[in-house]
Amino acid sequence: MSIYNHFRKEELPFVERALEMLTQVERKQSMRLTDFLDPRQYEIIQSLHTQVSDVAVHSFGGYEGAERKRVLITPSYIQPELADYQLTLIQIKGNQRFVQLEHRDVMGALLHIGLKREKFGDILLHDGECQAIVASEIVGFVNMQVTQIHRIPVQIKEVPFDQILSVERQLREKTVTVASPRVDAVVGEVCNLSRAKALVPIRAGRLKVNFKVVDDPSYQVKEGDMISLQGFGRFEVLEVTGPTRSGRLRMMVGVYTG
């Protein structure tokens, strides 16, 4: 069986690039640095790591627990330094007295200037402060182009990583009851969609479970799953209990608010 059979069709271009980087490092004994990867892409590189020998895979996203990280592929005898990841922490300053910046506002501003999502990592918001971790090679461009976010004039400033915001995930707990753990039923309840309306984005490939596209509406959701639906945000399944007296499952989910 070909290794490509283990991945979805839309993942194959990334799989090919990852394999190429791994084999180049093995052959040339040199380092390769990726852009920012999401957890699923990192999982793919880790799974492909077995296809080469004497190669190590390292990752860092600016702080412990970062969701999006750059990956360094190196000969196994090399231990990279933090500077090798070429990360820069930027502070975004603006008067938020009347409008509080949200995660989507900052991401939208960065994408609007033409940046690809893989060129910046996590966006951190806390008590009116805002930071983003970006690839060092695009800091100058961001500084010149991002002058306003959500109608708020802003200034960009590089700051050292020892000033990174300490941010805990922001979850709003919500209890739902569903007839079954099918993902279309769960998404419909959490996102306030009818089951029929939930089917459309799911079959269009806009649903991800644990950062992997799932287009099968009968997929069985389990405790601990991270579910995102493009345009509707994301949530985590915290607890599954039941059945209720009516035979339905009760789920406690955490809806991401920041």
Distance in angstroms (rounded) separating the CA atoms of residues 210 and 95: 36
Task: Dump strand ranges (E) for 107-211.
Answer: 120-126, 129-135, 148-149, 152-159, 171-178, 207-209
Residue 195 DSSP SS3: helix
Tell me the pLDDT band of 172, cut-offs 50, 70 and 90: confident
Predicted confidence at residue 150, as pLDDT, reads 85
Dihedral (CA of 197, 202, 206, 211) sign = positive
Exposed, middle or buried, 69 (CB in 10 Å: 0-12/13-18/19+)? buried
Residue 257 burial (CB count, 10 A)? 11
Helices (H), 113-244: 139-145, 183-190, 195-203
Task: Answer for the pair 52, 28: CB distance below 8 angstroms, yes or no.
Answer: no
Name the percent of the chain lying above pLDDT 70: 98
Calculate mean pLDDT across residues 23-45.
96
- In DSSP terms, which residues pair with 220 in a beta bridge? 182
130, pLDDT greater than 70: yes
Which residues lie below 8 Å from residue 70, measured CB to CB, with a gap of 6+?
33, 34, 35, 36, 37, 59, 60, 61, 85, 86, 87, 121, 135
Q: 76-97, pLDDT tens digit by residue?
A: 999 999 999 999 999 999 887 7
CATH number for 171-256: choose from 3.40.1710.10, 3.40.1390.10, 3.10.290.10, 3.40.50.970: 3.10.290.10
Verdict on whether the full-model pTM lies above 0.85: no
Q: What's the topology of domain 3-82?
A: Ribosomal Protein S8; Chain: A, domain 1 (3.30.1370)
Annotated domain spans of the chain:
3-82, 87-163, 171-256
Tell me the pLDDT band of 258, cut-offs 50, 70 and 90: low
Predicted confidence at residue 108, as pLDDT, reads 93
Q: 194-247, pLDDT tens digit by residue?
A: 888 999 999 999 999 999 999 999 999 999 999 999 888 899 999 998 777 788
118, pLDDT greater than 60: yes
Could you confirm whether domain 87-163 is CATH 3.30.70.330? Answer: yes
Torsion, Cα of 104, 106, 108, 110 (10° steps): -150
Most confident option among 8-12, 51-55, 240-244: 51-55
Calculate mean pLDDT across residues 160-188.
89
